[in-house]
Amino acid sequence: MNPRLTQAQQRELSSQLGKVSLQLLYKASVHGYTAAAFHQRCDNQGPTLSVGYNNTGYVFGGYTSISFNQSGAWGNDAKAFLFTFNGANVLKYQVTNPAHAVLMHGTNGPYFGNNLGLCVNSNAVVFSNPSQNYYNFNAAGMHGDNLQLVECEVYKVEECKLLEKPWRNIDWTSENKTKLLVQIQTYKPTISSVSQIRVLLIGPVGAGKSSFFNSIKSIFRGRVTNQAMAGSSGTSLTTQFRTYHVKAGKEGKPLPIILCDTMGLEETTGAGLNVDDISSILRGHITDRYQFNSAVPLQPEAQGYQKSPGLQDRIHCVAYVIEANKISIMPSKLEDKLTDIRSKINLVGIPQLVLLTKVDEACPAVTEDLTSVYHSLYIKNKLQEASQRLGVPLSCVVPVKNYSQELELDQSCDILLLSAVNQMLCFAEDYFDDKFSDLEV
């Protein structure tokens, strides 16, 4: 589920509300244009922004600082306002009758004063009545008098509080970056038959798996590179199994880590990465450039199936890649798939961690300054939630910001990414210690 509001529109709206994060709770095209679907997702969620889109391109709606409910009563809210986009800018219409700011009706979607309703009577339509004096606005300016909705979204608005002291300590200096680079380059697995650690990246489409590899490669190249195809498409751009090697510098030695990129997980059965293929990947049966088929997992008799993989072909660490802003709204079918995958991985005892990506998009304070990532209470909550939903300890959840549109490297970004890689190496090491300590040293 992707927000229809652009990042720029989200920033513009957020700036009306101080330092806040927006998180998509409800999207009518996905959940239905019904009052029931809206209330199920949006009641008791605290402050929200409701946004309507019509087919003449107007983007408009309302903000309330109080929770939606279905009491049938008026909600009192002096902070409520209606808005519309005038080009890139927001035009705000402050509430003029705060005692009647929001009508909490079970048969309607968001309903502001007796002025503006979205998804009225469970239909994809707008109720608009500017003559009522609850908010002062002009219908032509707000939505061009077009009452047909092509989308309706509700965003939860969460304040981005900063803790005075970071809850994890990170050294953001260039010395630490150098130290991490050296640590990673000189790392040697304790098992002599394994020269490189294989890390499997698993996660939904668009979470940033390919970008993570690109980012790591960029750091070791010293400039931003884009080898793995990354992008913003609804379904997976990556349809092959790819094992990516990274060199330290253009002509340098290969790093002791191989990042294995998979097709994205999708919530629908039969789409995206097949859970059965994951077992084959874990055991090293699937090789580079294998073309995934969502409907049919790779069979042992098929061409390309590696029959007797060695320890070096297996996966030594799994990283779930999840977008910070999507963790709370993860569809239950996707969560079920992940639970299924986790139990398969637990069976073989492979260590797992979570890469929480796009922290830069999740919290405005972090957008401004990445080094505030461990000061942000919002990010901390997301990390805790990821830990709970994916069943891994909090210490195994790390935030990252991948390179996405930047042209130049950034030291803080590098340090966060390198810390994640370092963690992967440590985890793989624990795995060897635990499983193979008596095998060969």
CB closer to Mg ion, 198 vs 209: 209
* CA–CA gap between residue 130 and residue 136 (Å, rounded): 7
Minimum gap (Å) between residue 264 Cβ and ligand GDP: 5
List, in order, residues 6 or more apart from 8 with CB less than 8 Å away.
Answer: 88
Say which entry of ligand GDP, Mg ion, none residue 352 contacts (CB below 5 to 8 A, set by partner kind): none
Say which entry of Mg ion, ligand GDP, none residue 47 contacts (CB below 5 to 8 A, set by partner kind): none
* CA–CA gap between residue 418 and residue 204 (Å, rounded): 22
CB closer to Mg ion, 128 vs 214: 214
Q: Tokens 């637990």 map to which residue? A: 346
Identify whether the C-beta of residue 232 lies closer than 8 Å to the C-beta of residue 171. Answer: no
Identify whether the C-beta of residue 102 lies closer than 8 Å to the C-beta of residue 111. Answer: yes
Tell me, what amino acid is at 169? Answer: N
Minimum gap (Å) between residue 208 Cβ and ligand GDP: 3
CB closer to ligand GDP, 54 vs 210: 210
* 287: nearest Cα among 330, 250, 265, 258: 258
Q: In the set 210, 214, 352, 372, which binds Mg ion (CB under 5 A)?
A: 210
Tokens at residue 113, please?
């004063």
Identify whether the C-beta of residue 285 lies closer than 8 Å to the C-beta of residue 309. Answer: yes
CB closer to ligand GDP, 42 vs 416: 416
Task: Single out the segment in contact with Mg ion by CB under 5 A; choices: 174-182, 202-210, 239-247, 405-413.
Answer: 202-210
Q: How many residues does the chain have?
A: 441
Give 411's DSSP letter: H
Say which entry of Mg ion, ligand GDP, none residue 358 contacts (CB below 5 to 8 A, set by partner kind): ligand GDP
> Which phi and psi angles does 369 have, rounded to 5°?
-150, 110
User: Does residue number 23 form part of the binding site for Mg ion (CB under 5 A)?
Assistant: no
Identify whether the C-beta of residue 154 lies closer than 8 Å to the C-beta of residue 25. Answer: yes
Identify whether the C-beta of residue 236 lies closer than 8 Å to the C-beta of residue 267. Answer: no
Ramachandran sector of residue 212 (left: φ over 0; alpha: ψ -120 to 50; beta: rest): alpha
CB closer to ligand GDP, 100 vs 358: 358
Say which entry of Mg ion, ligand GDP, none residue 402 contacts (CB below 5 to 8 A, set by partner kind): ligand GDP
Minimum gap (Å) between residue 278 Cβ and ligand GDP: 15
List, in order, residues 6 or more apart from 66 with CB less than 8 Å away.
Answer: 47, 75, 76, 77, 80, 101, 102
Minimum gap (Å) between residue 129 Cβ and Mg ion: 47
Q: In the set 48, 214, 238, 262, which binds Mg ion (CB under 5 A)?
A: 238
Give residues in contact with ligand GDP (CB under 6 A). Answer: 203, 205-211, 230-232, 237-238, 264, 321, 357-358, 360-361, 401-402, 404
Say which entry of Mg ion, ligand GDP, none residue 207 contacts (CB below 5 to 8 A, set by partner kind): ligand GDP
Strands (E) across 278-383 are located at 290-291, 317-323, 352-357
CB closer to ligand GDP, 62 vs 206: 206
CB closer to ligand GDP, 77 vs 414: 414
Say which entry of Mg ion, ligand GDP, none residue 208 contacts (CB below 5 to 8 A, set by partner kind): ligand GDP
Complete edge-to-edge strand list for the sheet that includes strand 197-202: 290-291, 240-247, 254-261, 197-202, 317-323, 352-357, 397-399
Minimum gap (Å) between residue 291 Cβ and Mg ion: 14
CB closer to ligand GDP, 80 vs 416: 416
Task: Single out the segment in contact with Mg ion by CB under 5 A; choices: 9-17, 80-88, 184-192, 205-213.
Answer: 205-213
CB closer to Mg ion, 51 vs 260: 260
Residues that bind Mg ion (CB under 5 A): 209-210, 238
